[in-house]
Amino acid sequence: MATRDLARRTATDLSALLATDSRAGFAWQQRMWQIAACLSADASDDEALRTARARFEGLYAPGRDFADFHLWRPDPGERAAANARLDALIARLRDLLHMPPVTLRRARHGDAGRVAAIWHAGWRDGHLGHVPDELVAARTAENFHTRAAARVTDATVAEVGGVVGGFVMVVGDEVEQVFVDASFRGGGVADALLAEAERLVAANGHAVAWLAVVPGNTRARRFYERSGWADDGAFDYVASSVTVPCLRYVKRVGP
Half-sphere exposure of 77 (CA within 13 A, CB side): 0
Q: Which one among 49, 113, 186, 192 touches ligand COA, defined by CB under 6 A? A: 186
Hey, what amino acid is at 65? Answer: D
Region of 19-27, 42-50, 214-222, 228-236 interacting with ligand COA (CB under 6 A): 214-222
- Min dist CB 41 to ligand COA, Å, is 31
Q: Is 125 in the site for ligand COA (CB under 6 A)?
A: yes
Whether residue 253 contacts residue 198, with contact meaning beta carbons closer than 8 Å, is answered with yes
Q: Is 220 in the site for ligand COA (CB under 6 A)?
A: yes
Q: Which is nearer to ligand COA, 113 or 122 (CB)?
A: 122
Letters for 226-245 (x = contact with ligand COA by CB under 6 A, - = none) are: x-------------------
Which ranges constitute the DSSP H helices of the chain?
3-19, 27-40, 45-59, 76-96, 112-127, 133-138, 141-151, 189-203, 218-226
Q: Is 213 in the site for ligand COA (CB under 6 A)?
A: yes
- Min dist CB 84 to ligand COA, Å, is 6
Q: What is the CA radius of gyration of the chain?
A: 19
Instruction: Sheet containing 155-160: give its strands across.
Output: 102-106, 155-160, 163-171, 174-180, 208-213, 242-252, 230-239
The C-alpha atoms of residue 45 and residue 98 are separated, in whole angstroms, by: 14
Number of H helices, E strands in the chain: 9, 7
Q: Which is nearer to ligand COA, 8 or 83 (CB)?
A: 83
- Min dist CB 46 to ligand COA, Å, is 30
Q: Which one among 146, 207, 222, 230 touches ligand COA, defined by CB under 6 A? A: 222
Whether residue 55 contacts residue 38, with contact meaning beta carbons closer than 8 Å, is answered with yes
Q: Is 165 in the site for ligand COA (CB under 6 A)?
A: no
Q: Is 179 in the site for ligand COA (CB under 6 A)?
A: yes
- Min dist CB 118 to ligand COA, Å, is 8
Burial 108-137, CB ≥16 within 10 A → b, else e: eeebbbbbbbbbbbbbebbbeebbeeebbe
Q: Which one among 219, 228, 234, 240 touches ligand COA, defined by CB under 6 A? A: 219
Q: Is 81 in the site for ligand COA (CB under 6 A)?
A: no
Chain residues in the site for ligand COA (CB under 6 A): 122, 125-126, 178-180, 185-186, 190, 213, 217-220, 222-223, 226
